Amino acid sequence: MAFLAPFAGGALIGAAAALLLLANGRIAGISGIAGGLLGPAGRDAAWRAAFLVGLLLGPVLFRLAAGHWPDLHVEASWPMLVVAGLLVGYGTRLGSGCTSGHGVCGLARLSPRSFAAVATFMASAIVTVFLVRHGVGR
C-alpha cells in the first residue's frame, strides 16, 4: 500500500498537466509559468498566479486532510540549497524549460527536445549524487 501516495500524486500531476494543455493549450512547466508572471503585466497573469497558488496550497490541503504536515527531511545545509537552487535555475534557462515541462509534458508529447533535456537532467543528477555521496560531500 506504500505505492498509493506516489501513484495518486503522479496521477494528479498528469491530470493537471493534461487539463492545462486541453483547457488553455499551455504546457505545465513551472519555470515557464512562474517566468511568465515576471514578464510584461497582463500576460496571462491570472491563470499563472492561480496555478502557483495551487502549488503552494498543496501542503495546506494535506494538513487539513491528514491532520499533520507532510514529512520533510532535508540533509543539505542552507548554503548548499542556495547553490543548488541557483544551478537548477541556470539549467532551466539553459535548457529552455524545467523537469515538469520537459519531463511530464514534453515526453508525453514525444518532443525530441524534451527527450534530450530529460536525458541531460538525469545524467546531471546521477553525476551530482555520485560526487556528493562519494567525493565532494565526504
Per domain, the residue ranges of the chain are 4-134
At 91 the three-state DSSP class reads helix
Alpha helices in 4-134 (DSSP H): 4-24, 30-38, 45-66, 78-94, 107-108, 112-134
CA 134 from centre of chain: 26
pTM of the model: 0.74
Residue 88 pLDDT: 85
**What are the tens digits of pLDDT across the range 78-131?**
998 999 889 888 888 888 888 888 988 889 889 999 999 999 989 988 998 898
Which residues, other chains included, contact 98 with Cβ-Cβ below 8 Å and sequence gap of 6+?
Answer: 29, 30, 31, 32, 92
From residue 72, give the alpha-carbon distance in Å to each of 1, 68, 75.
20, 12, 10
Cell 499563472 belongs to which residue? 48
CA 137 from centre of chain: 25
Query: pLDDT-derived band of residue 1, with 50, 70 and 90 as boundaries?
Result: low
Please state, in angstroms and rounded to a whole number, the distance separating the CA atoms of residues 92 and 102.
10
Tell me the three cell numbers of residue 3: 505505492
Query: pLDDT-derived band of residue 42, with 50, 70 and 90 as boundaries?
Result: low
